[in-house]
């Protein structure tokens, strides 16, 4: 699938226009409903291949935060053969009470996968969970950067960031 075809499929499936409040608290005249593109098999498969291509031989684990990062990290893990870990938004209050599902060995290099980045807050929190488990976050790869300061916030936290696409690539702007 070409970049143009992927952009067309994501926009057709997931971009909505109107008035929206984002997770960051900001308001926007457009919304990228990640679940609408992450639940489409052809789009998810393509994203899995593209995300997996960033996992070099130094990456021991892939990670994704709930809920949107889970299908993405699963697809990339299947393509790359690299084990994955899943990060909860909050500790469950039953069973093992973990924030992280799966295994991180001390010193593991982890590539953290994110769906849509606005402020970068959620992925920075997920990186803290990985560090607390003994892993090193080698890079963060997002599907879409809304270009609203998330990249700068992530890099200011000492993390390497890259996105497959940006809001500019998708032809989106606030009106």
Average pLDDT of the segment spanning 65-81: 94
Q: Taking Cα atoms as reference points, which of 156, 172, 150, 143 lies closest to residue 20?
A: 172
Was domain 3-166 assigned CATH 3.40.50.2020? yes
What is the sign of the dihedral through the CA atoms of 80, 63, 59 and 4? Answer: positive
- H or E element: which one contains 85? strand 84-87
Scored b (16 or more CB within 10 A) or e, 19-50 reads: eeeeebeeebebbbebeebbebeebbebbbeb
The full set of domain ranges for the chain reads: 3-166
81-129 tens-digit pLDDT: 999 999 987 666 655 667 889 999 999 999 999 999 988 989 999 999 9
Identify the pLDDT of residue 95. Answer: 55
d(CA 59, CA 56): 6
Q: Kindly report, residue by residue over 42-70, the tens digit of the pLDDT.
A: 999 999 999 999 999 999 999 999 888 99
CA angle 116, 33, 88 (to 5 degrees): 55
Assigned token pair, 12 = 């057709």
Average pLDDT over residues 24-45: 91
Q: Which residue has the tokens 């702007």?
A: 173
- Mean pLDDT, the chain, as a whole number? 91
Smallest CA-to-CA distance from 30 within 116, 134, 122, 125 is with 116
């Amino acid at each position: 699938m070409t970049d143009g075809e992927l952009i067309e499929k994501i926009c057709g499936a997931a971009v909505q226009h109107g008035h929206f409040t984002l997770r960051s608290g900001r308001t926007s005249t457009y919304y990228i409903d990640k679940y609408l593109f992450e639940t489409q098999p052809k789009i998810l498969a393509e994203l899995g291949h593209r995300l997996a291509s960033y996992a070099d031989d130094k990456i021991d684990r892939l990670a994704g935060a709930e809920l949107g990062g889970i299908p993405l990290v699963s697809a990339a893990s299947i393509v790359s053969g690299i084990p994955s870990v899943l990060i909860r938004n909050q500790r469950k209050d039953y069973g093992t009470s973990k924030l992280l599902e799966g295994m991180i060995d001390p010193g593991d290099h982890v590539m953290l996968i994110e769906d849509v980045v606005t402020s970068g807050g959620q992925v920075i929190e997920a990186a803290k969970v990985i560090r607390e488990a003994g892993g090193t976050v080698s890079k963060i790869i997002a599907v879409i950067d809304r270009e609203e300061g998330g990249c700068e916030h992530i890099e200011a936290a000492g993390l390497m960031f890259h996105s497959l696409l940006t809001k500019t690539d998708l032809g989106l702007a606030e009106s």
